[in-house]
Amino acid sequence: MSTGIGEEFIKRTKYQYMGPSDQQSMMPQPSLEAPFEEGGEWIHLPDPGEGAPDLKEMIDNRTSVRNYADDPISLQDLSYLLWCTQGVKEVVGTQATLRTVPSAGARHAIETYLLINRVLGLPAGLYRYRSLEHRLQEFTLYEGIAEMIQEAGLKQRHITESAVTFIWAAAVYRMTWRYGERGYRYLFLDAGHICQNLYLSAESLGYGVCAIAAFDDDRMNELLHLDGKEAFVLYLATCGVKGRGFE
């Protein structure tokens, strides 16, 4: 039986094959946040506030929700969800950020994009989260971008029926600078930490979430202007007010 791609990936990223990293070779550290494209209005987000405190209740009630009501969510609630999933608690010089989610070596090599469908005060379109400043930046607001994202998401309806769809992309060198090839494993682990925080923080507000791993990689990367090598989409999740019969 020939070795499959998945098995080869696990083999080649074993700890024993790490070798000297670029960090150990004294190569310059990549920036803590990927560069932003010129243009696009910046949106200041309100203070994240607080959600419900009962963690056990949130875990008990957590489930994947694909059926959403037409109701919008508030900018305040979006701010809270972004803080819970990628919020920066402290910037440690130019070396690292301490955030609301764990990350291998505090590399935090995930960038957050948002397809805004129904958020009060925000025009529909594609945005990027500037985590170091807790702000949004307009990315693409042209008509039809939601349908293009949905098409790249294999036509899953909840991508456009949600209030907001989170799209998480890997900034590869920010992780591999320290961990070499093994860093690719950590990118996927980090994305899982982020998505679980979205599930729980959304549940604390009474919203539903559904993680998405099935999408056209090349098309999704193209829509986000990512090269698919140094930066690529890892994971998506829809979020919004739960519709009837969501169970």
Q: Where are the domains of the chain?
A: 48-241
Look at residue 2 and tell me whether its pLDDT is greater than 70: no
Of 134, 94, 109, nearest to 188 by C-alpha is 109
- Per-residue pLDDT, 83: 97
Predicted confidence band of residue 100 (pLDDT cuts 50, 70, 90): very high
Quick: pLDDT tens for 116-131.
999 999 999 999 999 9
CA pseudo-torsion sign 22, 234, 93, 36: positive
- Per-residue pLDDT, 206: 93
* Mean of pLDDT over the chain: 92
- Per-residue pLDDT, 247: 45
Token representation of residue 146: 């939601």
Is residue 88 within 8 A of residue 48, CB to CB? The reply is no
Mean pLDDT confidence for 151-156: 97
CA pseudo-torsion sign 19, 96, 29, 41: positive
- Per-residue pLDDT, 51: 67
Look at residue 164 and tell me whether its pLDDT is greater than 70: yes
CATH 3.40.190.10 fits 48-241, yes or no: no
Look at residue 23 and tell me whether its pLDDT is greater than 80: yes
Is residue 178 within 8 A of residue 107, CB to CB? The reply is yes
Quick: pLDDT tens for 30-71.
888 888 777 778 898 998 887 666 888 888 888 899 999 999
Mean pLDDT confidence for 95-112: 95
3-state secondary structure the chain: CCCCHHHHHHHHCCHHHCCCCCCCCCCCCCCCCCCCCCCCCEEECCCCCCCCCCHHHHHHHCCECCCECCCCECHHHHHHHHHHHHCEEEEECCCEEEECCCCHHHCCCEEEEEEECCECCCCCEEEEEECCCCEEEEEECCCCHHHHHHHHCCCCCHHHHCCEEEEEEEEHHHHHHHHHHHHHHHHHHHHHHHHHHHHHHHHHHCEEEEEECCCCHHHHHHHCCCCCCCEEEEEEEEEEEECCCCC
Long-range pairs of 140-144 with CB within 8 A, sequence gap ≥ 24: 140/223
Report the percentage of the chain scoring pLDDT > 70. 96
- Going from the C-alpha of 211 to that of each of 87, 132, 138, 142, 166, the distances in angstroms are 19, 25, 23, 25, 9
Quick: pLDDT tens for 190-214.
999 999 999 999 999 999 999 999 9
Mean pLDDT confidence for 89-110: 93
- Per-residue pLDDT, 36: 79
